[in-house]
Amino acid sequence: MDGEVTPLMLQVAVRKQFRTAGAPAFDLRVTQEFAPGVTVLFGPSGAGKSTLLDCIAGLQTPDSGRIALGEEIFFDANQKISLPPQRRRIAYVFQSLALFPHLSVEDNVAYGLCSNAHSLRDLRVTQILDAFHITSLRRRKPPELSGGEKQRVALARSLVTKPRVLLLDEPLTGLDLLLRRAILQDLRAWNDANRIPVLYVTHNREELDAVGERVVALLQGRVLESGASRDVLDAPRSLALARAAGFENVMPVTVLETRPGDGVMRVVLTPSNCELEIPLGPNEAGSRLQVAIRAGDILLATQAPHFLSARNVLPGTLESLESRGPLVIAQVNTGARFIVHITPGAVRSLQLSAGCAVWLVLKTHSCHLVSS
């Protein structure tokens, strides 16, 4: 049982419907392969991320489909195969962590090692406690632990079993930045040593950038997009994903003209007459689209800028400034309303205040065409 773990592809093709009285039925339909390494499941709450993980772990039974790791079938509706969770050797760290409150850290971590000989078990527990820097906690019980310590114990408890697949459902929610970075570092080190499919659910962009090699974006039970993290989230192709990925400006536009020679098209922001130059899409003049722009990708100037490579310079009025720690959120009205992120230092040196005349500068490639 305890031999080396060979990395295998996790193939998932599942359908699961929920019919709740009153609420519209939820319908999960996912067909996706998960290669060894970290894949981030990204999407708003209610997108079906936890249901998908539950199906893979065997805690929920899909209505139809197939789940397999390499040659081994976990679930196959046609062949009527459904391996119980305890026989799948999948590790699953829940959002609530679900540490056993009556067992010490040591016993929690050893829980999944019941079939091993005592000496081997102790050795593995000691090793994993050490790897996650929680050796000093081994005799404590979960209610005596801090949030970060609990998260480490939960990870250690799952990983000590040498799982073949690792499922992580927002395991680091509620932790501060430094703690999250430290735990992510331990997790990355573990992942480099044990290449297995890891599915990591998070809403947090920073966690995603830190661990995610690939992203699968889920929305309302469907896979919207999948691919390398940067491709999917920095240039989202759909409205819902743009919102989920934290694009502050998502606005409707109408195409005025396409200029295939320049690789651009001119659009007008639809209630206003602000014009923008955006990357060329497959659309014709007159079609209505959505454009997503990150608030941090917009430059703000207090004088009309000249001699720029950026093609879009929009005059407008600064309507409000709202300070949020190291960030100031500026609302600018150019006919259309833009949200722009600037630093407190920029507010001071440019002497910005509500009512100022400002110019927004947008690079063509900061404007992402999304479909609704």
Task: Candidates 31, 45, 96, 349: give the one binding other proteins (CB under 8 A).
Answer: 96
Q: How far is the CB of 167 from other proteins (least distance, A)?
A: 9
Would you say 86 or 351 has its CB closer to other proteins? 86
Q: Is there a contact between 85 and 59 (Cβ–Cβ < 8 Å)?
A: yes
Task: Candidates 46, 102, 139, 372: give the one binding other proteins (CB under 8 A).
Answer: 102
**Distance, CA of 238 to CA of 242 (rounded, Å):** 6
Piece of 34-42, 112-120, 179-187, 234-242 that binds other proteins (CB under 8 A): 112-120
Is 114 near other proteins (CB under 8 A)? yes
**Distance, CA of 204 to CA of 244 (rounded, Å):** 10
Is 3 near other proteins (CB under 8 A)? no
The pairing of beta strand 368-370 with beta strand 288-293: antiparallel
Helix H or strand E encompassing 291: strand 288-293
Helix H or strand E encompassing 214: strand 214-219
Would you say 29 or 150 has its CB closer to other proteins? 150
Looking at this protein, which amino acid is placed at residue 308?
Answer: L
Q: Which of residues 159-178 bind other proteins (CB under 8 A)?
A: 161
Question: Look-up: residue for tokens 């833009």?
Answer: 338
Is 21 near other proteins (CB under 8 A)? no
Q: How far is the CB of 12 from other proteins (least distance, A)?
A: 17
Q: What distances in angstroms separate CA 64 from CA 16, 181, 190, 293, one per listed residue?
A: 7, 39, 34, 39
Q: How far is the CB of 190 from other proteins (least distance, A)?
A: 17
Q: Which of residues 53-72 bind other proteins (CB under 8 A)?
A: 57-59
Would you say 87 or 118 has its CB closer to other proteins? 87
**Distance, CA of 336 to CA of 95 (rounded, Å):** 40
Would you say 109 or 232 has its CB closer to other proteins? 109
Task: Candidates 43, 48, 112, 236: give the one binding other proteins (CB under 8 A).
Answer: 112
Would you say 101 or 282 has its CB closer to other proteins? 101
Looking at this protein, which amino acid is placed at residue 323?
Answer: S
Is 111 near other proteins (CB under 8 A)? yes
Is 31 near other proteins (CB under 8 A)? no
Interface with other proteins (CB under 8 A), residue total 29
Piece of 94-102, 203-211, 258-266, 272-280 that binds other proteins (CB under 8 A): 94-102
Q: What distances in angstroms separate CA 250 from CA 244, 313, 362, one per listed residue?
A: 11, 18, 14
Q: Is there a contact between 368 and 235 (Cβ–Cβ < 8 Å)?
A: yes
**Distance, CA of 237 to CA of 256 (rounded, Å):** 20
Is 143 near other proteins (CB under 8 A)? yes
Is 304 near other proteins (CB under 8 A)? no
Backbone φ and ψ for 240, nearest 5 degrees, come out as: -60, -40
**Distance, CA of 175 to CA of 271 (rounded, Å):** 42
Task: Candidates 24, 84, 260, 286: give the one binding other proteins (CB under 8 A).
Answer: 84
Is 75 near other proteins (CB under 8 A)? no
Q: How far is the CB of 101 from other proteins (least distance, A)?
A: 6
Q: How far is the CB of 112 from other proteins (least distance, A)?
A: 4
Positions of E strands within 58-144: 64-69, 72-76, 81-82, 90-93
Piece of 70-78, 111-119, 230-238, 289-297 that binds other proteins (CB under 8 A): 111-119
Contacts 24+ apart (CB under 8 A), 120-129: 124/160, 125/160, 128/156, 128/159, 128/160, 129/105, 129/156
Is 94 near other proteins (CB under 8 A)? yes
Is 86 near other proteins (CB under 8 A)? yes
Name the site residues for other proteins (rule: CB under 8 A).
57-59, 84-92, 94, 96, 98-102, 111-112, 114-115, 141, 143-144, 157-158, 161
